[in-house]
Structure 1
Amino acid sequence: MSEVFRTGNAVVRRQQAPVPVTIAGQAIVATRCISLLLLVNELGYDGVADLVHRSAQSWDSTLILIISQLIFCIELRCALTLMRGSRRGRWGYALTQAVVVLYMCAASVGGVYAEIFSISGANRFEILHSLMMHKVPDLLVLALLFLPASSRQFFQRS
């Protein structure tokens, strides 16, 4: 201990995240950034400008657009914090996924605004099946965060 005070150099070792947690964090960042790039590529400049213009027409659609961007940022933040061992990052990501699934169900089945967040289908079963297929990567990430023993132990230490 006195060596630390004399030299001023302290060695701080942080525990490395287990492989499932690291893969899950990187997968969250990768899937979110790639999906954003694919959406912008699909819509093009005019489509993005039209989306923002239509969203600015009323308060409810503006609020939905702002919340969707906020959820995007929260998911990225959760990915970075969970790789450091934060339980809040893991539970925050699970909570954002629950909110997204509930809203997408409401937008697809109930006809809530923002057709960009809805999934089309002939009936409710087909819509829910498409939604679950769309969320399979997120379910796999959640499985990596909650199921392996190394992941559970990593989050219980912090």
Structure 2
Amino acid sequence: MSEVFRFGKTAVRPQQAPVPVMIAGQAIIATRCISVLLLINELGYDGIADFIHRSAQAWDSTLIFIASQLLFFIELRCALTLMRGSRRGRLLYALTQAIVLFYLWAASVGWIYPEIFSISGASNGEIFHRLIMHKSPDLLVLLLLFFPASSRQFFQRR
């Protein structure tokens, strides 16, 4: 307080992100980290080693596996940057979700090989329903980032 009277300047605090943006950023980080922990718990050490070994058998499987890991880290980085008000982080997260949604749908229908990451189903309608249910947390996060007025205003100021 004495610095204000001495120098006549106030300390400018960085603007806090609105609640929907903070919830969305924390949800991205939480869902990604929890999904990794659940995968580790489900597969165990031998299952993870086998999954990595099978992914490294062919170039296309290896590239898809590396791309999935790259997308994981890009999503985490987007979560951190969008909580600071980066429009680029918000748009990049939306782009990664569109890429993941397209790949999961195309691999599940059988258009893209190898099908490392795919959703099984008896018909295209069932596959689409399971895909939407699988991606519903990410769709909710996108809604929190793009639709509340406080979120839109926060990203337009930067």
TM-score with structure 1 setting the length = 0.91
Task: Flag the 1:116–1:35 CA change in 2: closer, same or farther, 3 A.
Answer: farther
Does 2:72 align with 1:66? no
Does 2:48 align with 1:41? no
Name the amino acid aligned to 1:27.
A
Kindly, what percent of the aligned residue pairs are identical?
76
2-structure distance, mates of 1:77, 1:68? 14
Does 2:42 align with 1:26? no
Name the amino acid aligned to 1:49.
A
2-structure distance, mates of 1:18, 1:50? 43
Could you say which residue in structure 1 is the equivalent of 2:51? Answer: 51
Aligned length: 154
Contact 2:60–2:114, Cα closer than 8 Å, also in 1: no
1:108-138 CA-partner distances (Å, limit 9, x unpaired): 0015345441111110000000000111111
Deviation at residue 11 of structure 1 after TM alignment: 2.9
Aligned-residue CA RMSD (Å): 1.9
Unmatched tracts of structure 1, length 5 or more: none
2-structure distance, mates of 1:77, 1:11? 28
Contact 2:61–2:116, Cα closer than 8 Å, also in 1: no
1-structure distance, mates of 2:140, 2:23? 11
Partner secondary structure for residue 135 of structure 1: helix
When structure 1 is superposed on structure 2, of 116-125 and 61-70 the one drifting more is: 116-125
2-structure distance, mates of 1:33, 1:16? 24
Deviation at residue 41 of structure 1 after TM alignment: 1.0
1-structure distance, mates of 2:116, 2:34? 17
1-structure distance, mates of 2:21, 2:94? 14
Task: Flag the 1:98–1:114 CA change in 2: closer, same or farther, 3 A.
Answer: same
